[in-house]
């Protein structure tokens, strides 16, 4: 008999080649599957997990949601404790609950939120480098706010993706895009440099879409390109790349909403 669990996990992506199992190196899914196999006393190949979406190498997650299919029937809290006792310290299980077999973490989601942390000042502390991306130039925040308003809405984001995942459509809706200054506190340490958080909430995201949007926003904020260039790129009338892929270390899968 198969048993199904909806699991929310948080992880630091620095040491992993993304969520999805691959041959290049260790992955979050691969490690979780190995732990579930130990708990279930089966082979890792017998464990089936499906996440709300892939995160790339070096990208973090505050609340990644996945469905686990196990031959083992176990109380939700016991499964959470068992997993956390075996997982690496950079992966934590936040919540576990039983679910139906037809629960689909991707199709059933109604929105997903990513945040991106960055600073254009170098840090005097060595602790935050894996978590806050370095921005090469001082940015005009008012220009960035105008750019984020342009990003909101329904657009063809084919100019803001990299190949690697088959998708039915490149048209996505961004419900909210905003920037705010983030308070940087790591334990007892507080940095004096400004750290900014970009937030994107939408119905779905393409491969590296957020990091490409961040790269474009940085170019607008630094005056390298204008708002009209972003407008043209969002219309996708021709292939155009208006920004580089921003570093992975600043990106976090923040949350996934379900009905």
65 and 144 part of one domain: no
Residue 106 falls inside a structural domain: no
Residue 88 falls inside a structural domain: yes
Residue 146, Cα to own-chain centre: how many angstroms?
Answer: 24
Judge whether residue 165 has pLDDT over 80: no
Greater pLDDT, 148 or 128? 148
120 and 31 part of one domain: no
Q: How is residue 159 written in tokens? A: 């100019």
User: Mean pLDDT in the chain?
Assistant: 93
Catalytic residues: 56
Domain boundary among 98, 126, 147: 98
Which structural domain range is residue 62 located in? 3-98
pLDDT band at residue 1 under the 50/70/90 scheme: confident
pLDDT band at residue 201 under the 50/70/90 scheme: very high
Crossing angle of helices 209-221 and 141-151, rounded to 10°: 140
244 and 124 part of one domain: yes
The pLDDT assigned to 27 comes to 98
Residue 72 falls inside a structural domain: yes
The pLDDT assigned to 188 comes to 58
Q: Contacts from 143-148 at CB under 8 Å and sequence distance 24+?
A: 143/220, 143/221, 143/223, 143/227, 144/179, 144/217, 144/220, 144/221, 145/178, 145/179, 146/227, 147/216, 147/217, 147/220, 147/221, 147/227, 147/230, 148/177, 148/178, 148/179, 148/198, 148/217
44 and 139 part of one domain: no
Judge whether residue 89 has pLDDT over 90: yes
Residue 75 falls inside a structural domain: yes
List the one residue out of 2, 210, 4, 251 whose CA is nearest residue 105: 4
pLDDT band at residue 191 under the 50/70/90 scheme: low
The pLDDT assigned to 180 comes to 95
pLDDT band at residue 166 under the 50/70/90 scheme: confident
Output the domain CATH number for residue 194. Answer: 3.30.70.660
Residue 52 falls inside a structural domain: yes
pLDDT band at residue 168 under the 50/70/90 scheme: confident
Q: Report the 10 Å Cβ neighbour count for 161.
A: 17
For 99, counting Cβ atoms within 10 Å of its Cβ (0-12 exposed, 13-18 middle, 19+ buried), the class is middle
**CA separation for the pair 142, 126 (Å, rounded):** 30
Greater pLDDT, 56 or 163? 56
Domain boundary among 68, 98, 128: 98
Handedness of CA 90, 13, 53, 46 (dihedral sign): negative
Residue 147 falls inside a structural domain: yes
Cβ atoms of residues 220 and 230 within 8 Å: yes
Greater pLDDT, 224 or 127? 224
Judge whether residue 14 has pLDDT over 80: yes
Count of structural domains within the chain: 2
7 and 132 part of one domain: no
pLDDT band at residue 189 under the 50/70/90 scheme: low
Output the domain CATH number for residue 10. Answer: 3.30.70.580
Q: Contacts from 36-43 at CB under 8 Å and sequence distance 24+?
A: 36/68, 36/70, 36/83, 38/86, 39/72, 39/74, 39/79, 39/82, 39/83, 39/86, 40/70, 40/71, 40/72, 41/72, 42/71
Rounded to the nearest 10°, the torsion over CA 92, 93, 95, 97 is: 170
């Amino acid at each position: 008999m198969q048993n199904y669990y909806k699991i929310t996990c948080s992880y630091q992506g620095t040491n992993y080649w993304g969520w999805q199992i691959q041959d290049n190196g260790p992955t979050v899914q691969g490690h979780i599957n190995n732990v579930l196999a130990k708990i279930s006393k089966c082979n890792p190949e017998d464990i089936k997990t499906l996440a709300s979406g892939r995160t790339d190498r070096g990208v973090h997650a505050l609340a990644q949601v996945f469905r686990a299919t196990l031959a083992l029937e176990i109380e939700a809290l016991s499964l959470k404790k068992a997993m956390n006792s075996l997982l690496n310290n950079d992966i934590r299980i936040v919540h576990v609950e039983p679910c139906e077999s037809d629960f689909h973490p991707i199709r059933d989601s109604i929105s997903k939120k990513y945040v991106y942390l960055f600073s254009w000042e170098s840090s005097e502390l060595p602790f935050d480098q894996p978590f806050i991306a370095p921005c090469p130039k001082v940015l005009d925040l008012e220009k960035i706010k105008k750019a984020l308003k342009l990003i909101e809405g329904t657009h063809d984001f084919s100019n803001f993706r990299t190949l690697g995942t088959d998708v039915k459509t490149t048209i996505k809706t961004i419900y909210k895009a905003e920037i705010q200054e983030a308070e940087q506190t790591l334990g007892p340490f507080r940095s004096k440099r400004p750290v900014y958080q970009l937030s994107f909430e939408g119905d779905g995201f393409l491969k590296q879409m957020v990091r490409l949007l961040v790269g474009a926003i940085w170019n607008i904020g630094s005056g390298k390109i204008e708002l009209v260039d972003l407008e043209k790129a969002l219309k996708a009338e021709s292939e155009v790349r208006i920004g580089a892929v921003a570093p992975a270390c600043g990106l976090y899968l923040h949350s996934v909403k379900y009905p």
